[in-house]
């Protein structure tokens, strides 16, 4: 990667991290419409497209998500008959593999018009490589101030590279019928990962191929150190720019994972998960697991019984907090939140049309949206009502609304530093976790190597303030 380590990058996250869900619960974005935004923020904006063009929209939609995306794209084409949009799901249902395929396409010279990217860090990483087009000139033409429009903005050297598409928080999905059977309450904010372990043991049922595990942990780094991934400002760096892989929460959570698998037998073995290439949604809805750590991108799933046939009701709980003595460094008792972004490829030949589509996808008040919006003027509580309409029997609605909108659940401010080495550090986490879970190496030895490897990468790349 040809990233300049000293390159200064400013990441503007606005005030969303602390207050966004509270504002959404009130149905009020709390933003004044300045500089002509009242007109520009309705759907696609005013960028003019002079001739009929064809562009592509890339993402990682699974079959169920594609239906909503295709419907939104059709809405856009109906409103903009001079633009034809082709939807390309690069790796359906897998954002990690999708990024790998995206990078291959970019390196091979394919013109990328518009692409949904799963997180802020992945936008910044590709922006510093020169793979994405800055949006400033288009914002200026439409008299838009990005901070007035979106909660999370990706900014490199005063250039904007992404529009926030979704607003994402993590939560735990629970089989409500299994909870009732075990005599367990739906957890509230403040339950700990030790509590989660106890719940998982009580939710175990059966043996062999018919066993329902208490929980399922997928292969992403989210499941390798959930406290660090969900309750720290940045999943890779402390505020002083050093790696978080030295954090004591790694020792706690790595050991918790191993004990739940080998001692409690309440989680499917990591080796089996890797070998079988399992789908986390299928594990939950097929009742192979009674609990799973997920997030707002799955809100529509319990009601989608065609894609995920099941008969039970789904409840929701805040992510467990680390028990006393195992808190991450700088722990505040608040959650990290962000969301996916939509970006434009640097080599797109139809940038005006691409920008017009980006604005539509991020701002349209469409009945076909399946996830909460990162657009400040969106009414996410209204969207929640739409997402579950006619399917409320599959949801424990009280717990769902609690996880999304209750004032008891608070969110972290923006990180002070970031790194563009997300993919490299993610690999360090994955390798270290695999070594610990699949061998007899001590956590001390594993963590030391992780810290050494991550520190070397950070020193080479530099930190971004």
The CATH number for 82's domain is: 3.40.190.10
> 229 and 331: one domain?
yes
**Tokens of residue 298, six digits:** 């799955």
pLDDT of residue 212: 98
Domain assignment present for 174? yes
With beta carbons less than 8 A apart as the criterion, state whether 160 and 135 touch: yes
Q: Looking at the structure, do residues 141 and 163 belong to the same domain, yes or no?
A: yes
> Same domain, yes or no, for 32 and 162?
yes
Final residue of a structural domain among 389, 404, 428: 389
Do residues 273 and 231 share a domain?
yes
Residue 5 falls inside a structural domain: no
Whether residues 55 and 31 share a domain: the answer is yes
User: Quick one: 250 and 309 in the same domain?
Assistant: yes
pTM, full prediction: 0.71
Q: Are residues 346 and 365 in the same domain?
A: yes
Neighbours of 26 (CB within 10 A): 12
Locus of tokens 């918790």: 256
Where does a domain end: 389, 405, 425? 389
Whether 183 and 324 share a structural domain: yes
- Shared domain for 192 and 261, answered yes or no, is yes
Q: What span, in angstroms and rounded, lies between the C-alpha atoms of 261 and 269?
A: 6
Q: What is the pLDDT of residue 29?
A: 30
pLDDT score of 38: 32
- The answer to whether residue 146 is domain-embedded is yes
254, 369: one domain? no
Q: Residue 414 has what pLDDT?
A: 64
Assess if residue 10 is contained within a domain: no
The last residue of a domain, from among 389, 404, 432: 389
The C-alpha angle with vertex 292 and arms to 289 and 298, in degrees rounded to 5, equals 115
Whether residue 229 sits in one domain with residue 273:
yes
Residue 23: the pLDDT is 30
How confident is the model at residue 50, as a pLDDT?
Answer: 60
398 within a domain of the structure (yes/no): no
Q: How many CB atoms lie within 10 A of CB 347?
A: 16
Instruction: Specify the residue for token string 């033409």.
Output: 141
Q: Is residue 235 part of a domain?
A: yes
In whole angstroms, give the CA distance from residue 163 to residue 60: 17
**pLDDT at position 209:** 87
244: Cβ contacts below 8 Å, ≥ 6 apart? 228, 232, 234, 235, 236, 237, 238, 328, 329
Residue 51 within any structural domain of the chain: yes
Asked whether residue 403 is domain-assigned, the answer is no
Residues ≥6 apart with Cβ < 8 Å to 421 = 125, 236, 457, 458, 460, 461
Q: Kindly report the CA angle at 451 between 194 and 268, in degrees rounded to 5?
A: 40
Q: What is the pLDDT along the chain (465 residues), one digit of tens a residue?
A: 333 333 333 333 333 333 333 333 333 333 323 233 333 333 455 555 567 899 999 999 999 899 999 999 999 999 999 999 999 999 999 999 999 999 999 999 999 999 999 988 889 889 989 999 999 999 999 999 998 998 888 888 889 999 999 988 899 999 999 999 999 999 999 999 999 999 999 999 999 989 999 999 999 999 999 999 999 988 899 989 999 999 999 999 999 999 999 999 999 999 999 999 899 999 999 999 999 999 988 999 999 999 999 999 999 999 999 999 999 998 999 998 888 999 999 999 999 999 999 999 999 999 898 888 989 889 888 889 988 999 999 999 999 999 998 989 988 876 777 787 888 999 999 999 999 999 999 999 999 999 999 999 999 987 776
- At residue 46, the pLDDT reads 58
Q: Within this chain, do residues 152 and 199 fall inside the same structural domain, yes or no? A: no
pLDDT at 383: 86
Q: How many domains does the chain have?
A: 2
* 293: containing domain: 170-335+414-461
């Amino acid at each position: 990667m040809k990233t300049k380590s000293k390159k200064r990058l400013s990441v503007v996250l606005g005030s969303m991290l602390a207050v966004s869900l509270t504002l959404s619960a009130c149905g009020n974005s709390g933003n004044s419409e300045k500089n002509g935004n009242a007109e520009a923020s309705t759907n696609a904006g005013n960028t003019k497209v002079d001739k009929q063009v064809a562009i592509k929209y890339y993402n990682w939609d699974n079959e169920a998500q594609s239906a909503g995306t295709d419907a939104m794209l059709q809405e856009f084409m109906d409103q903009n008959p001079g633009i034809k949009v082709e939807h390309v799901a690069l790796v359906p249902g897998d954002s990690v593999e999708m990024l790998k395929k995206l990078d291959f396409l970019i390196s091979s010279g394919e013109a990328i018009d518009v692409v949904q990217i799963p997180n802020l860090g992945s936008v910044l990483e590709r922006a510093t490589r020169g793979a994405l087009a800055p949006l400033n000139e288009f914002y200026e033409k439409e008299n838009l101030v990005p901070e007035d429009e979106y909660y999370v903005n990706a900014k490199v050297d005063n250039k904007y590279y992404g529009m926030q598409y979704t607003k994402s928080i993590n939560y735990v999905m629970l089989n409500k019928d299994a909870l009732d059977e075990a005599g367990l309450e739906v957890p509230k904010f403040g339950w700990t990962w030790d509590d989660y372990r106890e719940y998982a043991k009580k939710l175990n049922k059966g043996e062999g191929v018919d066993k329902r595990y208490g929980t399922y942990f997928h292969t992403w780094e989210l499941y390798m150190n959930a406290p660090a991934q969900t309750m720290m400002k940045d999943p890779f760096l402390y505020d002083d720019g050093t790696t978080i892989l030295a954090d004591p929460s790694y020792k706690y959570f790595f050991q918790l994972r191993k004990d739940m698998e080998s001692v409690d037998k309440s989680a499917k073995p990591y080796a089996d998960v890797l070998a079988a290439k399992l789908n986390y949604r299928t594990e939950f809805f097929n009742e192979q697991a009674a609990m799973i750590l997920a997030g707002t991108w799955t809100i529509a799933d319990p009601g989608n019984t065609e894609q995920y046939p099941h008969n039970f009701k789904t409840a929701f709980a805040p992510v467990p907090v680390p028990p006393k003595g195992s808190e991450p460094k700088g722990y505040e008792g608040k959650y990290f939140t962000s969301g996916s972004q939509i970006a434009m490829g640097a080599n797109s030949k139809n940038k005006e049309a691409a920008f017009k589509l980006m604005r539509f996808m991020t701002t349209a008040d469409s009945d076909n949206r399946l996830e909460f919006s990162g657009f400040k003027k969106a009414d996410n509580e209204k969207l929640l009502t739409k997402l579950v309409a006619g399917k409320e029997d599959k949801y424990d609605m009280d717990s769902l609304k609690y996880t999304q909108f209750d004032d008891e659940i608070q969110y972290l401010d923006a990180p002070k530093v970031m790194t563009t080495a997300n993919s490299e550090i993610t690999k360090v986490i994955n390798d270290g976790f695999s070594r610990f879970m699949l061998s007899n190496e001590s956590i001390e030895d594993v963590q030391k190597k992780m810290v050494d490897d991550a520190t070397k990468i950070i020193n080479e790349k530099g930190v971004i303030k």
